[in-house]
Amino acid sequence: MRGIEKETKSKRRMGRHGRQQLSQWSRGRQERYLKDKTGLDLDFLNESGSTKTCPACLTRNRPSGRPYRCKNPICGFTCHRDAVGAINILQKALCGEYTPIGPDIKVRVTYLRAVERWSLDQREAHPKVQCRKARARSSAQNRALSEATQISKPKLANSSTSTDSSVPDQLVVVA
């Protein structure tokens, strides 16, 4: 959500009225909505430097690309850069400063894909929509089979990185 105000005028994807409304967007209002909806107290931490600091040895370096590789030859920690930032922000929230994670903690990154879900009430209220979806799925499968191709369903991509994989303690980062 950062940088919305700066980027509204330069990209010109919306009309003048839409850009004006977007640049007058109230971040505080969104934060209050989130607080009311979740019922939780929100604390905001400064995220600067969180992706540059190794969570295992606290060595600072400048990562290039998506994977983070610690420059310290003794440490050798490797993980997705966003997961490194999330781990460091979590450590800062829990301990008040960046603290190294133990060598016995396994880091697992799980990527989630947004999918459409209907509740039972919605399915009962809209049976025609469900029938259309089923027909569309079956016709797509028939087309794929007639073209002799296989349908591959999207899978969750899992990537694990750890300093010691035999330890059951895990730190799960959902991106």
At 106-130, the pLDDT tens digits run: 888 877 766 667 777 777 877 777 7
pTM for this structure?
0.50
Q: How far is CA 174 from CA 79, 80, 166, in A?
A: 13, 11, 22
Give the residue-averaged pLDDT of 33-49.
83
Cα distance between residue 167 and residue 69, in whole Å: 22
What does the pLDDT read at residue 143? 64
User: Could you state, in order of their start, the residue ranges of all structural domains in the chain?
Assistant: 1-42, 43-113+157-175, 115-153
Instruction: Report pLDDT digits (tens) over 134-161.
Output: 777 777 666 666 554 443 444 444 444 4
pLDDT band at residue 162 using 50, 70 and 90 as cut-offs: very low
